[in-house]
Amino acid sequence: MDDYLKEALEIVKAQASVRTMTEDEITSMVQKLASGIKAIAEGGSLETEEKYAVDPKKAIREKTVLCCVCGKSFKILTKKHLASHGLTADEYREKFGYKKKLPLVCKSLQRERRKKMKEMKLWTKRGKKK
């Protein structure tokens, strides 16, 4: 076994000890790291652009939100789904270049929620009961 593979295995072993990983994730991560370490050691450069299941710019649509990691379609990207990829909502936004406060919700649902909040006027004080 070459040194690149050993180094990659150590890194993946450390990662797997702090989060749950599927067999495919482990295998894929070892392969990517080993080739990356080898490329760096040989004076080459890494490809800076990662391959995503979905283009982050096209992921938030009118009636659906596509997960950039797996490509599945949702109305809302939930904490539970993001956790299945080992990410929090903040980490997901950062990884795919979204603004920190961007809701991970389809556009139509976002509009509905905004309209409801305006109708409820929660920011105004309730009238005092006599």
Structural tokens at position 117: 């909040």
pLDDT tens-digit profile of 2-46? 788 888 888 888 888 888 878 888 888 888 888 888 777 777 655
pLDDT tens-digit profile of 69-99? 988 999 999 999 999 999 999 999 999 999 9
* 61 and 111 part of one domain: yes
Q: Residues 54-81, buried b or exposed e (16+ Cβ, 10 A)? A: beeeebbeeebbbbbbeeeeeeebeeeb
Indicate whether 106 pLDDT > 70. yes
Residue 7 has a pLDDT of 85
* 14 and 68 part of one domain: no
Residue 125 has a pLDDT of 73
* 56 and 44 part of one domain: no
Q: Is residue 128 part of a domain?
A: no
* 72 and 117 part of one domain: yes
Query: CB of 69 within 8 A of CB of 29?
Result: no
Which helix (H) or strand (E) segment holds residue 129: the answer is none
Q: Is residue 126 part of a domain?
A: no
72: left (phi over 0), alpha (psi -120 to 50) or beta: beta
Query: CB of 67 within 8 A of CB of 54?
Result: yes
C-alpha 21/C-alpha 41 separation (Å) is 27
Residue 41 has a pLDDT of 77
Number of structural domains in the chain: 2
Q: pLDDT band at 49, cuts 50/70/90? A: very low
* 65 and 100 part of one domain: yes
Q: Is residue 81 part of a domain?
A: yes
Indicate whether 122 pLDDT > 60. yes
Structural tokens at position 17: 């000890």
CATH number, domain at 69?
1.10.10.1550
Identify the domain containing residue 12 by its residue range: 1-48
Residue 36 has a pLDDT of 80
Residue 128 has a pLDDT of 59
Indicate whether 47 pLDDT > 70. no
Spatial CA neighbour of 92 closest among 35, 64, 53, 61? 53
Q: Is residue 130 part of a domain?
A: no
Residue 48 has a pLDDT of 45
